[in-house]
Amino acid sequence: MQTYDFVIIGSGVSGGRMAYELTASGAKCLLLEAGREFSATTFPAHEIDYSTQMFWGGGLEISTDGNLGFLRARCLGGTSIVNQALLDRFDDVAWDDWRHRSGVSYFNKTDMEASYQAIEAKVKISEIPRSQYNRNAQTFTKACEHLGYEWKKLKRAQGECALDKGSDCIVCLGGCPRDSKQSSLVTTIRWAREKGLRVESEFEVHHLSDAGDKVHVYGRQRGAETEVVGRRVVLAAGAMGNTAILLRSGYQKELPALGHGFACHPQYMTYAMFDEPIDAHKGAFQAVASQDPRMRKQGFKLENVYAPPIGTAMLMPGFGPNHQRLMRKYRFYASMEVAVRDEPTGVIRVTRGDKLVVDKQLTAQDQDRTERGLKLVSELFHAAGASEIVSCTQAFGLHLMGGCSIGVDARKAVVSPDFRVFGHRNLIAADSSIFPEAPGINPSFTIMALSHRAAREVLSS
Ligand SMILES: Cc1cc2nc3c(=O)[nH]c(=O)nc-3n(C[C@H](O)[C@H](O)[C@H](O)COP(=O)(O)OP(=O)(O)OC[C@H]3O[C@@H](n4cnc5c(N)ncnc54)[C@H](O)[C@@H]3O)c2cc1C
């Protein structure tokens, strides 16, 4: 059996970046991904099809108490295929809190700057010009300006979206049909393949065994039990994926923090009905967001988003004629989302029946932040002239973080500051699973930066 220098499990934001950095250094690498490989021409066109074919749990996973839904992609390129490609650097608040909780000294703007810059140097990044804002973005900015709140243009990892030719970016929630979105698939994985990376999709890793100088990785590929071997293994299967693999490998006893510290930035949609069509599903999707120090201090931010029809139908309250009345107004809604910086109190576990579950209840602080955010959204929409406000009670976690948190103390963390699992020098992780707490900021850019830093660290020692 061939032994790879590195076996990388998971092909999302972190897996793609690690695969590229390690392959480019001359290492022999194998990238494993549980989901299928799609491309710009084969992404399923309809919402129901991409949800069922490209997400874990057939579209949605739910916390054990049913109060939170989780979205995580299962396809080559991972969640970078379905995300909105918004790239935000961490601010001092996020780095200071992370450093304080984890004890990791390089969690500061200065030490992380080179890694952010290395990503920016190779990925296309743009802002949507104000002349191309759709009416949902115009409503957002107008409302913020009316009530005196600061907003910002979002930085998006995208190339040529042809918005002036009628492209609707909401389609990209099921994969970008133009290869404009800078997902791992069209950036790091493509570059790494050109340098010799081997990719195996539809390979779901179940567990691994770390014996001496080799790590054996066991799983199933298209139904068949399969084993691969690497000198080192990069765990890049995300918060839920990495935690499940380590739990199934029997590391719980030696790593007491394993599975703990899960957070997800719970997001709540509010729809506001207007007398004229808003057509929030048309044109540039998610061009702006809040950037107000008062909101940052209160632990939430506001996003300028919308949802496709099935997602909206799921979010809308009521049944029968009441639900139909709301859905008929699909073109007449603007919407905003409150994203809460939640406390890392969730627990990821694997049941005796081998099922992955997440226990996550919102704390009193989380609920207080949510209520403040929702109240403000309501005020903003009223100021913009909404005729009716529809608040959605179901929260969703799109930024799944923790479970294998990084830190200096093996009793409280799973991964050490050199990105190795405590007690297992050949197991490496730098993805969303190592987040010591929720930053309250979009995570992808920092996942890329951490992975860039981790690759350098691993190659130099
Ligand atoms: C709809 C949506 C929009 C978002 N928008 C943004 C945004 O605009 N900006 C931002 O910063 N963040 C955004 N996010 C969040 C962001 O995309 C994630 O935080 C990020 O992708 C996590 O990166 P990762 O590498 O840790 O995991 P992922 O990108 O999720 O990759 C993990 C990969 O591992 C695979 N995997 C899991 N388990 C196994 C296994 N056992 N065997 C083999 N493979 C496995 C998965 O299938 C997946 O492909 C969004 C998320 C969603 C759902």
Tens digit of pLDDT for each residue in 124-167?
999 999 999 999 999 999 999 999 999 999 999 999 999 989 89
Which of 79, 86, 184, 447 for mutating ligand 1's site (highest number of atoms within 8 Å of CB)?
79
| Distance from residue 409's CA to the centre of ligand 1 (Å) | 27
Q: Are 150 and 297 in contact (CB under 8 A)?
A: no
Is the model's pLDDT at 460 over the cut of 90? Answer: yes
- Bridge-based pairing of strands 420-421 and 424-429 is antiparallel
Q: Which of 457, 433, 438 is nearest to 15 (CA)?
A: 433
C-beta 440 within 6 A of ligand 1: no
Question: What token pair was written down for 260?
Answer: 């703990």
Q: Count CA atoms closer than 13 A to 71's CA, side-chain side.
A: 22
- Residue 377 confidence (pLDDT): 98
How far, in Å, from the CA of 239 to the mean position of ligand 1?
A: 9
Q: Write out the two tokens for 145.
A: 């300006």
Residue 285 has a pLDDT of 87
What atom in ligand 1 is closest to the CA of residue 445?
Answer: 11
Average pLDDT, the chain: 97
Mean pLDDT for the stretch of residues 1-7: 95
The DSSP element (H or E) to which 70 belongs, if any, is strand 68-70
User: pLDDT-based confidence at 236, cuts 50/70/90?
Assistant: very high
Of 196, 218, 197, 198, give the one whose Cα is nearest residue 208: 218
What spacing in Å lies between the alpha carbon of 388 and ligand 1's midpoint? 35
Q: Is the CB of 14 under 6 A from ligand 1?
A: yes
Residues above pLDDT 90, as percent of the chain: 97
> Is residue 157 within 8 Å of 125, Cβ to Cβ?
yes
Q: What is the pLDDT of residues 286-318, one digit of tens each?
A: 999 999 999 999 999 999 999 999 999 999 999
* Domains by residue range for the chain, with CATH: 1-37+88-124+184-262+400-461 (3.50.50.60), 126-174+265-398 (3.30.410)
What pLDDT is attached to residue 120? 97
The three-class DSSP label of residue 105 is: coil
Confidence of residue 1 (pLDDT cuts 50, 70, 90): confident
Q: Is 82 in the pocket of ligand 1 (CB under 6 A)?
A: yes
What is the pLDDT, as a whole number, of residue 301?
98
- For 321, residues 6+ apart whose C-beta sits below 8 A from its C-beta are none
Residue 181 is predicted with a pLDDT of: 96
SS3 136: helix
Does residue 12 have its Cβ closer than 6 Å to ligand 1? yes
DSSP state string for 249-261: TT-TTT-TTTTEE
Supply the pLDDT for residue 211: 81
Average pLDDT over residues 27-42: 98
Q: Is 184 in the pocket of ligand 1 (CB under 6 A)?
A: no
Report pLDDT digits (tens) over 390-434. 999 899 999 999 999 999 999 999 999 999 999 999 999 999 999
Is the sign of the CA dihedral 339, 345, 348, 353 positive or negative? negative
Contact 74, 58 (CB under 8 A): no
pLDDT tens digits for range 178-227 = 999 999 999 999 999 999 999 999 999 999 999 889 999 999 999 999 99
Q: Is 72 in the pocket of ligand 1 (CB under 6 A)?
A: yes
73 within ligand 1 shell (Cβ under 6 A): yes
pLDDT (tens digit, 9 = 90+) per residue, 74-127? 999 999 999 999 999 999 999 999 999 999 999 999 999 999 999 999 999 999
- Atom number of ligand 1 nearest to Cα 401: 19
Global pTM reads: 0.98
Question: What's the pLDDT band for 66 if we cut at 50, 70, 90?
Answer: very high
CA separation for the pair 67, 362 (Å, rounded): 9
Q: What's the pLDDT score for residue 461?
A: 83
- Specify the ligand 1 atom closest to the Cα of 10: 34
Question: Does ligand 1 lie within 6 Å of residue 9's CB atom?
Answer: yes
60 in helix, strand or coil?
coil
Residue with CA at minimum distance from ligand 1 atom 3 = 83
β-pair partners for 427: 233
For residue 219, how many other CB atoms are within 10 A of its CB? 20
Predicted local confidence at residue 276, as pLDDT = 96
35 pLDDT above the threshold of 90: yes
Query: Which residues have C-beta within 8 Å of that of residue 8, sequence separation ≥ 6?
Result: 15, 18, 19, 22, 29, 30, 31, 32, 233, 234, 236
Report pLDDT for 212.
Answer: 83
Pocket of ligand 1 contains residue 181 by CB under 6 Å: no
Listed in sequence order, the DSSP H helices in 316-354 are 320-327
Closest CA to 174 of 269, 32, 52: 52
Phi, psi of 91 (to 5 degrees): -95, 180
